[in-house]
């Protein structure tokens, strides 16, 4: 099977993470995975949603959007339609849940970190790119809080990244681009921590159900991809900017 | 660990499936799993959504709702709020996707089957109960179409059921009730076909990430539970009513 | 004129009231009138709407909904449309107003009782069945408050039931089913108290205006029907469950 | 009991009907009943709603609104809130239903007459004033259609007017103003045709249920008031303008 | 070029301002400019929006609406559509901004004056008529506050009026009616104070861009028109009513 | 008065226009004016809105949005709120109107060009930067249509750019950044064509009304700034990319 960038089944597209992409946010990261480009910003707000008030605990939440022409043909704006699609809701719930899994909300204190993931160009894997990029933006926002003495101890408990795997024409492959995704028999998103554990596994058979043997291959591929992504995250975070 | 109905970790709550619960729908099923009660109706509509028009293919879609006092305290109606929550959207997308995976849309022809899952009482596992019940309602609706010579060949390609598994206080268990669900470290929903393959796996670590060993136990438990559910479905469908 | 259940013009369809139909609500009643089936729940909330705050008075309010396939052909969900229809608003305002007429809000104290009427199967007369069933659910919720020492004196001032009457093919009849309702020349809903007084009379000439003589017959029929309904309510409430 | 305009229990407030109040509409009527002022316009549209298409029948429908400061204190605009209140929906459904009862939709042909009732000043009885005024606007619109040879025969089958009656401090009275309405024990709206028959009776006991004797007095009062209103309508329609 | 009322390029249509048009509002003005008729009410509310709370400053804001048949053909109600159009938002923001420019919000104190502009008949220039009429309603509301000792000093800092100018068939003209407006090459709205300064200039070339020479003529015309409008305002305000 | 980039009153911030910023759109331009950064895409759609159908004419329309953290503090998403703010509506109407003024819709043929302006970073002047950038994106989209033989003659009739001018602390200045804008006494947006004519002038006195002398200076400054912007546009469009 031929793939973009001439890559093998178990290879990621080129990945690039640029910090401080815009000035205002406490964390602002442009993540590029092949042609997929997501701007992930982290914004600190010194209050929490009603259900968290008075608990001493903070909150981490995400919103996701695509600009209308991130996609091959123009998609109507959700703001114009007046409501979010089910797909957007599902994705932003996933991103928020994933990032919360590596934050000690007690240590964060009664504040919210908003992770806004705006897709500028979509070529498959926007939700996993969002998680991987948002982790870096979150780290910068936490660093900002510590630099400004608003936090004493780091509430982030582990590193985090995500990738998609799937089956196309019977081949199990890592990091599907849009063309692959649109003809995939199985599509799976995997979120893992640096300690090698799963935070989220979401596998869907679009046409052909899969078995345990497939699943095992998917998880091997995902782990390999996530390890690479974590190295890119690490390098980006170590770079003075 | 003590569980409701004095059951072991790998045992389902009592399951009951009642067909023809209401008169109008082509399929109308009340599924009861412990105290969880969902009314699943299947309605045939002789048209398809715009994206399917002229393709010769049909469509299967689902909607999910809870009556306000299905839950321990009253939940505001989504109709009153004027919009669906992210949770509802996510669940109804899952149900629709799952059921479509066992229907040959070409054979169904240009018509839609609506699966409405209305939760009358919620005690955990409402989305998996919905899938399991909706499968029976769908089967009745297809039978109706065949009886009325509107369909010649059965478009259903396999049987389908779903169950939740998870980890509570370090124990991997099958079929979590509400109390268990609300303190689960890991929560996973599994949808399988009669041929023993996966249609959907959605696992979320609420607090503590899980590893491959956990995952393997979860999948064993799920398979066992789903086998039992399929027997209840089969018995219900064989009963003349 | 032939009628369902071979009944005369002045006879109700079979009526059945089942209390404690679901577990969570303070009152939970399934009322069946012929094929019409409504689940009426009463939920106590320990706060009142803004306009009642600080007055020492409570509030009783109702919401009404039909599941999509309660009707012969599927009706789109109001939650999906994003707004309530005029019909729903009109009905739930009627139910709330009717029930409030037999509650001393001062005695109820600053709390709200929500009456949720969810129609599982619709065969005419759903709004009057909702009122008749909601009265029983309300009584159970008040009993719950008294049993738990949250109320000392019973705020319910009278019993209450409702029925529809109308004119079909020139015949004045009691308790119209869907077929009758859809061809009625006049349609009237009557809500009465146990003391034999009117709380609400809503009569509409769909095609042919009516006169005083008609009106008098309608009110005789309604009173007869409501007397019977009140006996069913009474029997249901006396049954230990 | 003292009443505005020193009137007896069975006397209307001063009534004034001005035709051709604005230029664009096919019918444009300002109705003033005491301080209540409603602008009723009738607009002809040469198409019908989907449910009426191809039936050869027309449609008559109404919309009702109050300007924000029609009332003693400012009411938020429904356009700003983004939805109609239940009260507005109920009122505009009533107006539309009432007017349709005196129109032969077959004779009207496949066109819609929109009746827009905009309350400029509200002092009680706005819904009945709307019906009484809309009847005149409708008549002018039908006359316009006949003058322009768009209609051969008049589809209006009878005259129509409406009035409120009620019980205040134990007194049965005709045509309640705002102050009376806000303390009424019973509030009833009656719509009658010129042939003296009822099109709609809506009676609500706000606090104290009413009996047959009350009802009979209410209907006498309503009939008397409606007779007077019909004379004012007739005079207005006979005036060349 | 022939114009309505046989007027020259630099002449306004007949203008009439009627105060106390309705009873409830603190200011209630009907402004008629040719066939354009707008009811402008000013309502005092003893609170301010959140962003102004605790600042000691008040707020002045406007809402604008047209009744459906103010226009030649019926326009759908924004309340029915469930949202305001861009045109309405733009107009009401303009009206509010214009009026705030002549009010010292500090002197007004922590209260809001709502200016509601409801167009009963639209024949061009409704937004400028709204500003001109709202100024008079605002003045009456302020006078009401001073008469009732709620304000000691008058917060209005200058007089204010607005007019439209434009270019039709190459002619620069003052006060366009609907027919002129719909074929204008340039359309400009000008808001001025009594001291002869500009508060707002909004000029749009619909088809043919304009140059500095045009602009100078437009501003001369506008100033002339606004001077006349201010005299009508003054006369209306001096009339005892 | 000190200004960012040490510039004089009549000098623009540094301007940069990058074409082909993303791959999918027919035109994709990142415009940077100081720290203001707007991504302007042009998308061709082979259909027109209903009001333009069958006229042989095309349409050009714009949508505008800011990502939540484009601004100093996070702004709630309009998609989440479920509606556009008045500010957004006003801006996108302005952008669309401005661009339409230089397109011969007849020559464009029955197709729509969507101009999406998404603000990634906001430091004042986002609406004028959007117009200036959208012009370049539009030009690329038209070139795409011509290259693909979908258009024979170029429908663009003139070049177009926009800039803001205003008065801060009594100084008339060109191209206000956010800090200047938030304390401006007068704020004016000017849209001009390459032939030196005005397409739109929108001037607002926030606090202090302005006179003719001010206006003349504003227009001089605007013309100077727009000339410079047009050179940057020209250079960008001449660059092979």
Residues of A in contact with B205 (CB under 8 A): 101, 197-200
Torsion of CA B110, D53, D118, E89, to 10 degrees: 40
Write down the pLDDT at residue B241. Answer: 56
Residues of A in contact with B212 (CB under 8 A): 219
Structural domain contains residue E6: no
Angle, in degrees to the nearest 10, between helices B212-238 and B126-147: 40
Structural domain contains residue A67: yes
Report d(CA E165, CA B49) in Å as an integer. 50
Beta bridge partners of F168: F171
> Which of A76, A87, A209 should we substitute to test contact with B (largest number of B Cβ atoms within 10 Å)?
A209
User: Which residues have CB under 8 Å from B215's CB, separation 6+?
Assistant: A198, A201, A219, B203
The alpha carbon of residue B98 and the mean position of all alpha carbons in its chain are separated, in whole angstroms, by: 8
Residues C122-141: what's their mean pLDDT?
98
Confidence category of residue A130, pLDDT binned at 50, 70, 90: very high
Q: What percent of chain A has pLDDT over 90?
A: 97
The annotation places the binding site of E for phosphate at: 87, 125-127
Which candidate from F45, F63, F72 shows the least CB-CB separation from A77? Answer: F63
Residues of A in contact with B195 (CB under 8 A): 209
Query: Is the Cβ of E172 closer than 8 Å to some Cβ of chain D?
Result: no
Write down the pLDDT at residue C171. Answer: 96
**Does the pLDDT of residue F240 top 80, yes or no?**
no
Size of interface A-F (CB pairs under 8 A): 93
Structural domain contains residue E5: no
Q: Which domain holds residue B209?
A: 15-238
CB D170 within 8 A of CB D131: no
**What are the distances in angstroms from CA D183 to CA D70, D129, D176, D221?**
20, 20, 10, 19
Q: What percent of chain E has pLDDT over 70?
A: 99
Structural domain contains residue E202: yes
Query: Is the Cβ of C182 closer than 8 Å to some Cβ of chain D?
Result: no
Which candidate from F45, F69, F84 shows the least CB-CB separation from A116? Answer: F69
Residues of C in contact with B68 (CB under 8 A): 41, 43, 63, 114, 116
Q: Do D90 and C92 touch (CB under 8 A)?
A: no
Tell me the shortest Cα–Cα distance from D67 to chain C, in angstroms: 20
**Does the pLDDT of residue C226 top 90, yes or no?**
yes
CB A40 within 8 A of CB A115: yes
Write down the pLDDT at residue E99. Answer: 98
Counted domains in chain B: 1
Neighbours of A47 (CB within 10 A): 12
Q: What is the mean pLDDT of chain C?
A: 96
Which residues of chain D, if any, have pLDDT below 50? none
Confidence category of residue C241, pLDDT binned at 50, 70, 90: low
**Does the pLDDT of residue B240 top 70, yes or no?**
no
Chain F residues 202-221 with CB within 8 Å of chain E = 202-207, 209-212, 215, 219
User: What does the block give as tokens for C99?
Assistant: 């029930």
Structural domain contains residue E2: no
Confidence category of residue E206, pLDDT binned at 50, 70, 90: confident
User: What does the block give as tokens for F193?
Assistant: 């064509």
Neighbours of C207 (CB within 10 A): 11
Give C189-203 pLDDT, tens digit per residue.
Answer: 999 999 999 999 999
Residues E125-138: what's their mean pLDDT?
98
User: Which residues have CB under 8 Å from A167's CB, separation 6+?
Assistant: A173, A184, A185, A186, A208, A210, A214, A218
Q: Do A195 and B209 touch (CB under 8 A)?
A: yes
pTM: 0.94
Q: Do B199 and A212 touch (CB under 8 A)?
A: no
Structural domain contains residue D10: no
Write down the pLDDT at residue F241. Answer: 56
Chain C residues 38-67 with CB within 8 Å of chain B = 39, 41, 43, 45, 63, 65, 67
Tell me the shortest Cα–Cα distance from B23 to chain A, in angstroms: 31
Q: CA D126, D210, C50: angle at the middle one, nearest 5?
A: 55
Give F121-154 pLDDT, tens digit per residue.
Answer: 999 999 999 999 999 999 999 999 999 999 999 9
Write down the pLDDT at residue A201. Answer: 98
Which candidate from D89, D200, D211 shows the least CB-CB separation from C197? Answer: D211
Q: Do B219 and A196 touch (CB under 8 A)?
A: no
Which candidate from B65, B73, B82 shows the least CB-CB separation from C77? Answer: B65
Chains interfacing with C (3 or more CB pairs < 8 Å): B, D
Give F76-123 pLDDT, tens digit per residue.
Answer: 999 999 999 999 999 999 999 999 999 999 999 999 999 999 999 999
Which candidate from D35, D67, D78 shows the least CB-CB separation from E23? Answer: D35
Residues of F in contact with E196 (CB under 8 A): 211
Give B2-53 pLDDT, tens digit per residue.
Answer: 999 999 999 999 999 999 999 999 999 999 999 999 999 999 999 999 999 9
| Parallel/antiparallel/unpaired status of strands E59-66 and E36-45 | unpaired
Residues C27-32: what's their mean pLDDT?
98
Structural domain contains residue B204: yes
> Which of C20, C21, C69, C118 should we substitute to test contact with B (largest number of B Cβ atoms within 10 Å)?
C69
Give B149-189 pLDDT, tens digit per residue.
Answer: 999 999 999 999 999 999 999 999 999 999 999 999 999 99
Residue whose C-alpha is closest to residue C100's, from C163, C157, C25, C40: C157
Which candidate from C25, C65, C83 shows the least CB-CB separation from B69? Answer: C25
- Phi, psi (degrees; rounded to nearest 5) at D52: -110, -5
Give F3-45 pLDDT, tens digit per residue.
Answer: 999 999 999 999 999 999 999 999 999 999 999 999 999 999 9
Residues E79-93: what's their mean pLDDT?
94
Structural domain contains residue A8: no
Report d(CA A86, CA A96) in Å as an integer. 16
Chain C residues 87-116 with CB within 8 Å of chain B = 88, 114, 116
CB E24 within 8 A of CB D69: yes
**Nearest chain B residue (CA) to A84:** B86
**Nearest chain A residue (CA) to B89:** A86
Residues of A in contact with B202 (CB under 8 A): 201-203
User: Could you give the 3-state DSSP secondary structure of residue D217?
Assistant: helix
HSE-CB for B220 with a 13 A CA cutoff: 10
Angle, in degrees to the nearest 10, between helices C126-147 and C86-100: 40
Neighbours of D124 (CB within 10 A): 24
> Tell me, what CATH number does D170's domain have?
3.30.230.70
Query: Is the Cβ of F132 closer than 8 Å to some Cβ of chain A?
Result: no
Q: Do F197 and E210 touch (CB under 8 A)?
A: yes
> Which of A204, A214, A215, A218 should we substitute to test contact with B (largest number of B Cβ atoms within 10 Å)?
A204
**Does the pLDDT of residue E240 top 80, yes or no?**
no
Q: Do F35 and A23 touch (CB under 8 A)?
A: yes
**Does the pLDDT of residue C56 top 90, yes or no?**
yes
Regarding an ipTM greater than 0.90, the answer is yes
Q: What share of chain C is helix, strand, coil (3-state, %, to 5)?
A: 35, 30, 35
> Which of F4, F24, F46, F82 should we substitute to test contact with A (largest number of A Cβ atoms within 10 Å)?
F24
Q: What percent of chain E has pLDDT over 90?
A: 97
Write down the pLDDT at residue E241. Answer: 55
Sheet holding D112-121, edge to edge: D15-19, D27-33, D36-45, D112-121, D59-66
Which candidate from C28, C65, C69 shows the least CB-CB separation from B79? Answer: C65
Chains interfacing with B (3 or more CB pairs < 8 Å): A, C
Tell me the shortest Cα–Cα distance from D158 to chain C, in angstroms: 11
Give D132-154 pLDDT, tens digit per residue.
Answer: 999 999 999 999 999 999 999 99
């Amino acid at each position: 099977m031929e793939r973009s960038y001439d890559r093998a089944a178990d290879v990621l597209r080129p990945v690039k993470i640029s910090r401080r992409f815009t000035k205002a946010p406490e964390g602002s990261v442009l993540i590029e995975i092949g042609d997929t480009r997501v701007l992930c910003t982290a914004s600190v707000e010194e209050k929490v949603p009603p259900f968290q008030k008075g608990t001493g605990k903070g909150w981490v939440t995400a919103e996701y959007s695509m600009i209308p022409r991130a996609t091959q043909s123009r998609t109507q704006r959700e703001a114009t339609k007046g409501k979010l699609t089910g797909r957007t809701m599902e994705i932003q719930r996933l991103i928020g849940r994933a990032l919360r899994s590596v934050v000690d909300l007690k240590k964060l204190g009664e504040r919210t970190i908003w992770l806004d993931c705006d897709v500028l160009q979509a070529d498959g894997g926007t939700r996993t790119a969002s998680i991987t990029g948002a982790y870096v933006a979150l780290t910068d926002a936490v660093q900002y809080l510590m630099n400004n003495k608003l936090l004493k101890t780091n509430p982030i408990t582990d590193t985090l990244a995500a990738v998609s795997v799937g089956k196309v024409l019977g081949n199990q492959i890592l990091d599907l681009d849009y063309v692959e995704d649109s003809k995939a028999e199985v599509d799976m998103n995997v979120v893992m921590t640096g300690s090698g554990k799963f935070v989220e596994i979401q596998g869907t058979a679009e046409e052909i159900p899969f078995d345990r043997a497939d699943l095992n291959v998917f998880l091997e591929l995902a782990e390999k991809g996530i390890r690479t992504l974590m190295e890119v995250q690490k390098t980006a975070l170590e770079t003075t900017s």
